[in-house]
Amino acid sequence: MRQNTFNTLRVVTIACLVLGTGLFVIETTNASRGIGSSEGNVRTYTDDRGEWTETPTSLYFTGDTMQWELAPTSFTYNDGVHSWEETPNTITYRGPAGSWEQTPTTQSFSDGDRSLNETPTTRSYTGDDENLLETPNTREYEDEEGSSYEAPID
Amino acid sequence: MKKIVLIVFIIIVVVFAFVLMTNSQDSVKDAIKDIAGSDSSVFSKTCINEFNELYAVNKADLTQCSSAIRTGSFAGTDPTPKENNVVLIFDASGSMAGKVADERKIDMAKKAVEDFVTQLSDTKVQVSVVVYGHKGDNTDANKKVSCAGIEELYTFGSADGAKMERTLKSFEPTGWTPIADALEKAYAILKPYNTDAYNNSIVLISDGIETCEGDPVAVVQSMQERGLSVTANVIGFDVDDEASEQLNAIAENGNGSYFSAASQSELDFALQKQIDFMKKFDYRMQRVSENLQDINTATELHFGCVKALEVERAKILLDIYADERVTKECAEQVDDMYSEKYEVLQQSLWNSFDAMVQEFKQKSQ
């Protein structure tokens, strides 16, 4: 009789432990959308949207389609359609409509059909049917038929 | 028997535990639901306060973004190309009565100039026509009269093909070739427009060299020395080598180009190049260039806003999920509230940007 009682209690105890563990696992899984953590100066959070990470010098996100990173002197962004790079001296955009870039002294544009490049001393343009070049002393024009024109300017 | 009892007992315990677990979860859900739906609940107030505090700390200032992008410099800016001023110097000296391919050179030149002006009639180009050689005659006795007979027959103003046609019919070739003084006349016409707002040019059409003792090369050189920013292009029409050399020198010293024409089509082509030159450089290239400055500035502003919004979102999510002081339930409620707001702002930013890019493309054609 005593042995029977002991066996029964042992089985009940094991059953309760199994059930308790199951309850904990189910509770945790259902209640938590993602996992966040903070260790030292680094914080992270991850869920089905992506992963965010913060360090003392950067903050970045990585998702299925979008990634970006912010550093003390730069910011980069890419969502699969648009991309952007920003540094102290250069900004660059690339997207469906074309790409354009700017530095303190230059700017450029290209959309596959046309392009424009400018420096402090020159400016060149390439279009569907013409090429143009402007320098401090000259202007040059050439069209698709091969006609060309050059003119010095002051 | 004992084993059967034990198995039945275990089954009962398992079923009981499962029912208990299910009820427990439902109770939590119901409790949260009830609390969240009640304004007076401690949970709701605490969580909303949590959200407000976090949002106040991390909130990005995006007010400038939406308004600046919608009404940015690009959207409201029309290209402002330089305006073109051109003085045509028309040779009506006696030699222009000569023929090329059975047609008088003067008539061919008039036709080319009339077409040239007609093509400019829908532009902002300002035109003047200075004629020489149409006074007196080509005798020594009337040389003085002829050399002094330099007139602005088409007064500086907008291009009007019909008016130009009348002007061109008003003179005939007869006298000498005072190119230098005609260039001085052109200088006087353009001098008031010597600012950054204008491209000034002179187009000289001549079939011969200076015959009134002037020095046209020195005159075009002195234009630059006197501070006038001008391009002097020269079209030599059916000229000999000597004339070609002098006319070329005028163009070179006038920072312009020399074109040699020996037929109507070559004359037309030479003048067409003047139009191409003005239109292409001063409209298309300038327009793309100015719009590029605007789109670069606006894109930088847009991604500044994207950056601010993404940082705001990151900070809030990290604050609520990586901070043990915030309960899971509250974190998720804050997440839901913020995500709704984030998606609206994000969509708004990209809608504005896409519209702006389309406008840039259209205006840069």
pLDDT at B32: 27
State the pairing for strand pair B230-237/B198-206. parallel
Q: CA of A102 to nearest chain B CA: how many angstroms apart?
A: 7
pLDDT at B245: 94
Joined together, the tokens standing for residue B221 give: 């050189």
Return mean pLDDT, chain B. Answer: 82
Average pLDDT over residues B135-159: 95
User: CA nearest A117 in B: which residue?
Assistant: B289
Residue type, A112: G
Please indicate if any CB of chain B lies within 8 Å of the CB of A14.
no
- Confidence class for position B172, pLDDT limits 50, 70, 90: very high
User: CA nearest B295 in A: which residue?
Assistant: A100
pLDDT at B157: 95
The residue ranking higher by pLDDT, B21 or A62, is A62
Average pLDDT over residues B109-136: 91
User: CA nearest B357 in A: which residue?
Assistant: A97
For a pLDDT cut of 70, what percent of chain B falls above it?
Answer: 80
Residue B311 clears pLDDT 70, i.e. is over it:
yes
Joined together, the tokens standing for residue B271 give: 């003048």
pLDDT at A127: 83
Please indicate if any CB of chain B lies within 8 Å of the CB of A136.
no
Are B178 and B195 in contact by the 8 Å Cβ rule? The answer is no
Contact assignment for B322 to A150 by CB distance below 8 Å: no
In a domain, B332, yes or no: no
Which helix or strand (DSSP H or E) is residue A52 part of? strand A50-54
Residue B350 clears pLDDT 70, i.e. is over it:
yes
Task: Tell me the C-alpha distance between B305 and B349, whole Å.
Answer: 8
- Determine the 3-state secondary structure of B67 from DSSP: helix
Other CB atoms within a 10 A radius of the CB of residue A3 amount to 7
Q: CA of A9 to nearest chain B CA: how many angstroms apart?
A: 10
Average pLDDT over residues B136-155: 95
- CB contacts, 8 Å: B285 with chain A: 116, 123, 125, 132, 134
- Confidence class for position A20, pLDDT limits 50, 70, 90: low
- Confidence class for position A29, pLDDT limits 50, 70, 90: very low
Average pLDDT over residues B78-94: 82
Contact assignment for B299 to A100 by CB distance below 8 Å: yes
Joined together, the tokens standing for residue B139 give: 């005798």
Which helix or strand (DSSP H or E) is residue A136 part of? none
Contact assignment for A125 to B285 by CB distance below 8 Å: yes
The residue ranking higher by pLDDT, B124 or A90, is A90
Helix and strand element counts for chain B (H, E) = 13, 8
For a pLDDT cut of 70, what percent of chain A falls above it?
Answer: 73
CB nearest to A52's CB, from B292, B317, B329: B317
Token look-up 């739906």 returns: B37
Q: CA of B37 to nearest chain A CA: how many angstroms apart?
A: 19
Phi/psi class of residue B352: alpha, beta or left (left: φ > 0; alpha: ψ in -120 to 50)? alpha
Contact assignment for B9 to A149 by CB distance below 8 Å: no
In a domain, B252, yes or no: yes
- Confidence class for position A12, pLDDT limits 50, 70, 90: low
pLDDT at B175: 95
pLDDT at B357: 87
pLDDT at B22: 41
Q: What interhelical angle do B2-37 and B42-58 show, nearest 10?
A: 60
Residue B178 clears pLDDT 70, i.e. is over it:
yes
pLDDT at B14: 59
- Confidence class for position B51, pLDDT limits 50, 70, 90: confident
Q: Which of B11, B288, B333, B351 has the highest number of chain A CBs within 10 A, making it the mutation to test binding with A? A: B288
pLDDT tens per residue across span B257-310 = 888 999 999 998 888 878 776 766 656 677 778 788 888 888 998 999 999 999
Residue B329 clears pLDDT 60, i.e. is over it:
yes
Average pLDDT over residues A3-22: 65
pLDDT at A132: 84
Are A90 and A102 in contact by the 8 Å Cβ rule? The answer is yes
Average pLDDT over residues A115-142: 83
Task: Tell me the C-alpha distance between B204 and B86, whole Å.
Answer: 10
A27-36, B26-35, B40-49, B111-120: least confident range: B26-35
DSSP letters along B157-206, please? EE--HHHHHHHHTT----B---HHHHHHHHHHHHGGG-STTEEEEEEEEE
Return mean pLDDT, chain A. Answer: 82
A45-59, A76-90, B34-48: least confident range: B34-48
Residue A131 clears pLDDT 80, i.e. is over it:
yes
In a domain, B307, yes or no: no
The residue ranking higher by pLDDT, B303 or A144, is B303
A126-140, B96-110, B309-323: least confident range: A126-140
Task: Tell me the C-alpha distance between B339 and B344, whole Å.
Answer: 9
- Determine the 3-state secondary structure of B105 from DSSP: helix
The domain in which residue B191 lies consists of 83-284
Q: CA of A149 to nearest chain B CA: how many angstroms apart?
A: 7
- Confidence class for position B66, pLDDT limits 50, 70, 90: low
CATH number at residue B228: 3.40.50.410
CB nearest to A132's CB, from B280, B314, B360: B280
Determine the distance from the C-alpha atom of residue B136 to the mean position of all C-alpha atoms in its chain, rounded to a whole number: 49
- CB contacts, 8 Å: A152 with chain B: 231, 252, 255-257
Residue A85 clears pLDDT 80, i.e. is over it:
yes
Strand partners, B175: B93
Residue B41 clears pLDDT 60, i.e. is over it:
no
Q: CA of B76 to nearest chain A CA: how many angstroms apart?
A: 20
pLDDT at B283: 61
- Which sign, positive or negative, has the C-alpha torsion A11, A17, A21, A26? positive
Task: Tell me the C-alpha distance between B203 and B109, whole Å.
Answer: 12
- CB contacts, 8 Å: A37 with chain B: 322
Q: CA of A79 to nearest chain B CA: how many angstroms apart?
A: 11
Strand partners, A42: A39
Task: Give the gyration radius of chain B's Cα atoms.
Answer: 40
Please indicate if any CB of chain B lies within 8 Å of the CB of A36.
yes
Residue A149 clears pLDDT 80, i.e. is over it:
no
pLDDT at B322: 81
pLDDT at B38: 33
pLDDT tens per residue across span B18-39 = 444 443 333 223 322 332 333 3
In a domain, B51, yes or no: no
In a domain, B237, yes or no: yes
- How many domains are there within chain B? 1
Are A51 and A58 in contact by the 8 Å Cβ rule? The answer is no
- CB contacts, 8 Å: B311 with chain A: 59, 70
Are B193 and B153 in contact by the 8 Å Cβ rule? The answer is no
In a domain, B100, yes or no: yes
In a domain, B349, yes or no: no
The residue ranking higher by pLDDT, B174 or B20, is B174
Residue B332 clears pLDDT 70, i.e. is over it:
yes
Backbone angles phi, psi at B306, to 5 degrees: -60, -45
Residue A22 clears pLDDT 80, i.e. is over it:
no
In a domain, B106, yes or no: yes
Which helix or strand (DSSP H or E) is residue B122 part of? none
Please indicate if any CB of chain A lies within 8 Å of the CB of B222.
no
Q: CA of B362 to nearest chain A CA: how many angstroms apart?
A: 11
Token look-up 């009404």 returns: B71
Strand partners, A43: A38, A54
pLDDT at A124: 92
Among A42-46, B277-281, B317-321, top mean pLDDT goes to: A42-46
Please indicate if any CB of chain A lies within 8 Å of the CB of B231.
yes
DSSP E strand boundaries for B54-176: 83-91, 99-100, 103-104, 126-132, 151-158
* B63 half-sphere exposure, CB direction, 13 A CA radius: 2
pLDDT at B47: 75
Give the C-alpha distances (Å, rounded to integers) separating B115 from B120, B187, B269, B313: 9, 24, 11, 64
ipTM computed for the complex: 0.77
